[in-house]
Amino acid sequence: MGMGAWLRDKPGFLERAYQVSYAMIRWMRPLIVRVGYTRAARWILPLERATKRVLFQCQMCGQCTLHETGMVCPMTCPKHLRNGACGGVRSNGNCEVIPDMRCVWVVAYERAQEMRIFGPEMITIKPPANHLLKDSSAWVNKISGEDQSQPKGWAELPHNPVIKKRFLEKDS
Amino acid sequence: MTESYKTTGHLEEILSKGLFAVTSELTPPDSANPQEVFDEAAMLAPLVDAFNATDGSSAHCHMSSISICSLLTRLGYPMVMQLSCRDRNRIAIQGDVLGAAAMGVSNILCLSGDDVTAGDQPEAKRVFDFDSIQLLRTIRIMRDKGTFLSGRKLKEPPKMFLGAASNPFMPPYDWRALRLAKKIEAGASFIQSQYCYDVPRLKSFMQQCRDLGLHELVYYMVGVGPLRSEKAAEYMRSRVPGVHIPDEIVERLHKTPAVRQREEGKRICVEIIDQVKEIEGVNGIHIMAYNQQDLIQEIVEEARLLPRPVRH
C-alpha cells in the first residue's frame, strides 16, 4: 500500500490537515496578492498537482470540494457528479461505469462519517463546476475567491424550512 | 407540502389532493413514424395519470423525450418529460426546459442519466455538465427566480412540477434518505423511484424518510414493473444500471414453467404494488413495463387502481 492510499484512509486526519493548510494559505495571502495570482500559481501549481494527485487522484478542476465530499475527489467519479451517489451504483458498492472500482460516493459517504468537522457538509448542494477553472490552482483560486464563483444566477433561493432546520443549521 | 408551485398539471393535482397516483413509461419508438406513440398513449390514457417520456434510458437512443412530449401535449396528454444530464450541457438543457413549458409539459423528471457504457454506443462522449441535483436547482431557479443560470431574465418563467429519481436499493444505503433530502432542497416535489423488487428494503428506507420528516415534503411514487421471464430478470439485474432484484424473486420465476413466467412476473408486480400501497409516505406508483405495455391494463386492474380520476 502506497503512502497515498494509507493517508486516504485517515479522513479525520486529512480534514484537520486541510484546516491547517487552509489557515496557512490564508496567512500567506498578502504575499500571494503582492506576487500576483498568476505568478504565485506558477510555483504553487506544481506542488499542488503533485500532492493532490498522489493523495486524491486530483483531476485539477480548480475548485476543490474535497473536504465537503468525504475527502474524496468528486471528479474521479466517471460521471463527474459533485452531488452523488447516482442510482447506478452496484449492489457490491462498485461503480456503474468501472465495475472494478469502488463507487467514489460510497467511499465519500463512509469517510464523511469519520469526519467531525466537515463530514456534515455532504448534504450541502455543490454548484455546477466552472470549466474555465480547469487545470488552474484551487489553492490560489481559494485565496482569490475564484473557486467560489458560482454561475451568476445560482443565487440563494429560500431553503426548504424543514431541510434547513434538520440539516443545515449547525447544532450549538 | 410546504411550498406549492401550482402548475395546471393533472399529476400535481392528483398528488396534492392526496389521491394515489399512477404513472407509466411510454415505449419510445425506434421509428420516425409518430403513430406508435399515438397508439400507445391512447391505450394507456384511461389507465394512468401521466406518461413518462424517457430520455435515452439505458443509454440507448430512441425517439427523444422532448419530441414525444411535443407529439402528445398537442393531444392534451399529461406528460412527465425525463431530462438527463448525460447528453446535453447547461445551454441545451435550459433551452429545452423553456420549449417543454411552451408546449404544455408541466412535469420534468430530473436525472443524472445512465452512463454511455450501459448502451449500444459505449464509445459516445458523455457530457454530465450537471448532475441531477444541479439540474433540479437550475430549473427551480428558472421557475422561481425567473432567470437563466447566467442571471439573464426570462420574460415568462416555466411553470414546472419538478421530479427526481431515488434508488433506495443500492449503496450507500444510509445515504439514500439524506440524498433524497438534498434533492428536495434542490427543488424536487415528486419522486419516481427505481424498480422496487425488494419491499423490506423500501420499508426501511421509508422509515428513515419518515424519521427525517421527508414524507411530508415530497410525493414518493414507487417504480414497479413486470418481469417477463427468469432470463429477463437475470439480464436486468446484471446489465441494467441500478436495478436490484433479490434472489427470491428470480428463484420464484425459475420455479415457474417457462410459458407461465410472464404471468408470474405480472403477479409479482401486482403483489408488490399491494404491499407498497400500505407504506406510509408512498403516494403512488410508476409502472415501467418495458416492451410489455399490454400488461399495464391487467396490472392496474388487479391492483384495484381503476378507475383513474377524470382529467379536466
Q: Do A159 and B150 touch (CB under 8 A)?
A: no
pLDDT in tens, B32-60: 999 999 999 999 999 999 999 999 999 99
Residue from A72, A79, A169 to probe the interface with B (highest B Cβ count within 10 Å)? A79
Residue A142 distance to chain B (closest CA, Å): 22
Report the pLDDT averaged over residues A89-112: 96
Asked if the ipTM is above 0.90, the reply is yes
> Could you tell me the pTM of the whole model?
0.96
User: Whole-angstrom Cα distance, residue B175 to residue B205?
Assistant: 10
Per-residue model confidence (pLDDT) at position A4? 78
Of A122, A128, A160, the CB nearest to B184: A160
Instruction: Report CA dihedral (B282, B286, B292, B293) to the nearest 10 degrees.
Output: 120
Asked if residue A105 has pLDDT above 60, the reply is yes
pLDDT digits (tens, 9 = 90+) for A121-154: 999 999 999 999 999 999 899 888 888 778 999 9
CA B289 to CA B25: how far, in whole Å? 7
Instruction: Calculate how close chain A gets to B231, using CA atoms only, in Å.
Output: 19
CB B116 within 8 A of CB B110: no
Q: Residue B129's CB: how many other CB atoms inside 10 A? A: 19
CA distance B114 to chain A (A): 7
Band (A171; pLDDT cuts 50, 70, 90): low
Predicted pLDDT at B51:
96
- Encode pLDDT of B123-161 as tens digits: 999 999 999 999 999 999 999 999 999 999 999 999 999
User: What residues of chain B lie within 8 A of the CB of A82, using their CB?
Assistant: 131, 134
Position B6 scores a pLDDT of 64
Which of B115, B125, B180, B194 would you mutate first to test chain A, the one with the most A CBs within 10 A? B115
Identify which of A95, A69, A54 has the alpha carbon closest to the alpha carbon of residue A11: A69
What structural domains and CATH numbers belong to chain B? 10-302 (3.20.20.220)
CA distance B185 to A160: 6
pLDDT the model gives residue B2: 41
Q: How far is residue B239 from each of residues B115, B224, B232, B235, measured CA to CA in Å?
A: 12, 18, 10, 6
Q: How close, in Å, is residue B253 to chain A by CA atoms?
A: 21
- Residue B111 DSSP SS3: strand
Nearest CA in chain B to A166: B212
- DSSP-derived letter for residue B115 is -
CA distance B169 to B242: 8
**Lookup: cell for A159:** 431553503
Burial of residue A73 (number of CB atoms within 10 Å: 0-12, 13-18, 19+): buried
Interface test with B, best of A61, A154, A169 (most B CBs within 10 A): A154
At A121 the pLDDT is 93
Per-residue confidence in pLDDT tens, chain B, 312 aa: 444 456 779 999 999 999 999 999 999 999 999 999 999 999 999 999 999 999 999 999 999 999 999 999 999 999 999 999 999 999 999 999 999 999 999 999 999 999 999 999 999 999 999 999 999 999 999 999 999 999 999 999 999 999 999 999 999 999 999 999 999 999 999 999 999 999 999 999 999 999 999 999 999 999 999 999 999 999 999 999 999 999 999 999 999 999 999 999 999 999 999 999 999 999 999 999 988 999 999 999 999 999 999 987
Cell of B234: 437475470
**Is residue B241 left, alpha or beta, with left meaning phi > 0 and alpha meaning psi from -120 to 50?**
beta
Binning chain A into helix, strand and coil, the percentages to the nearest 5 are 55, 0, 45
Query: What is the residue whose three cell numbers read 415457474?
Result: B256
> A168: pLDDT confidence band, cut at 50, 70 and 90?
confident
Nearest to B147 among A91, A153, A164 (CB): A153
The residue in chain A having the minimum alpha-carbon distance to the alpha carbon of residue B170 is A91
The per-residue pLDDT for A156 is: 76
User: Do B115 and A125 lie within an 8 Å CB cutoff?
Assistant: no
Among A5, A25, A123, A143, residue whose Cα is nearest residue A68: A123
State how far residue B229 is from chain A, nearest Cα, in angstroms.
21
